[in-house]
Amino acid sequence: MSTDRTTLPTTVLGTGGPAVGIQGLGCMGMSVAYGPTDEAEARATLEHALEQGVTLYDTAELYGEGENEKFIAPFVRAHRDEVVVATKFGIILDNDDPLKRTISNEPGYIRRAIEGSLRRLGVERIDLYYMHRRDVNVPIEETVGVMAELVAEGKVAHLGLSEVTGPELRAAHAVHPIAAVQSEWSLFSRDIEAGVVPAARDLGVALVPYSPLGRGFLTGSFTDAEKELTKEDYRRVQPRFTGENAAANAALLEPVRRIAEARGATLAQVALAWVQQRAAVHGLAVVPIPGTRKRSRLDENVGATRIELTEEELAALEPIAGKVAGDRYADMSFASAGRE
């Protein structure tokens, strides 16, 4: 696959992994989670992203139970040699209760999941296949063993893991090279810097930070999810975005706003530049995947890759994460943090 058409610089995901533009695109919100979507604008955003040099596109079986894979499929097929498509297995929605999710790494399920993703995306091979969540009932070596078989069978090109701990990443990498770890990393969520980030650096694994804009909160576009967002918006059930936590957390954005104003940038750009630079401090290849459905925001986000924050600005942003009120998930068993 060639990824040389780019205005963005590129980086390589892991040893021998694909080269991609240093910012990717999270596609989840195009189908689910963050309120109604203007589908024509979302499709135009996919095309526009590629024109800007964004080559990594992120989806999952989970997102709308396959709807998001189907949504991006025509775009992926139209640009098969230019884009790197990443999808994931491991979180299953309950048919009876839409709020209930179960985690599975059971081998039989993984084998069914890959066939579903290949079919919905309409491709012969997934470029980057992630374990979305770790099922603690299945040894990680066994899970990666099954994923390695998918590589051997030509169904998958490269492997990734989402929300794993440092020790889990090391154990997995010993079974088969891991190209990327996808975990939440932002000005508000820095728990991975303790164990996962050092392990990734030691192993030469790239980091793909998800929710680098704190699911939109860091852009200042909403404060109280319950009061301001539509009924079906996933952020309404997230502890950081409602009630007293939301008000306290909004106040933490003050230094971000100050830096943005002084630079003539936006809060989103400062938040994204921070992730990029934080990874550089740790000596990691990094490809944040901010999610947007709008061309104007895509341009804004890509523009962040040209911002270099000063030491003074980084110091002003440093204390924020330590003061955030509320967990990053209502059910923290969905995060790696508790297993370290």
Q: Does 55 bind ligand NAP (CB under 6 A)?
A: no
Q: Does 297 bind ligand NAP (CB under 6 A)?
A: yes
Q: How far is the CB of 216 from ligand NAP (least distance, A)?
A: 3
Q: Does 101 bind ligand NAP (CB under 6 A)?
A: no
**Catalytic residue from among 63, 129, 130, 210:** 63
| 213, 287, 307, 324: residue in contact with ligand NAP (rule CB under 6 A) | 213
Q: Does 102 bind ligand NAP (CB under 6 A)?
A: no
Closer to ligand NAP by CB, 11 or 87: give it. 87
Q: How far is the CB of 18 from ligand NAP (least distance, A)?
A: 17
Closer to ligand NAP by CB, 143 or 211: give it. 211
Using the contact rule CB under 6 A, the part of the chain among 48-56, 152-160, 215-223, 308-316 near ligand NAP is 215-223
Q: Does 210 bind ligand NAP (CB under 6 A)?
A: yes
220 Rama class: left (phi>0) / alpha (psi -120 to 50) / beta:
left
Whose tokens are 């088969």? That residue is 176
Q: How far is the CB of 327 from ligand NAP (least distance, A)?
A: 14
List contacts with ligand NAP (CB under 6 A). Answer: 26-29, 34, 58, 132, 162-163, 182, 210-216, 219, 221, 268, 289-294, 297, 300-301
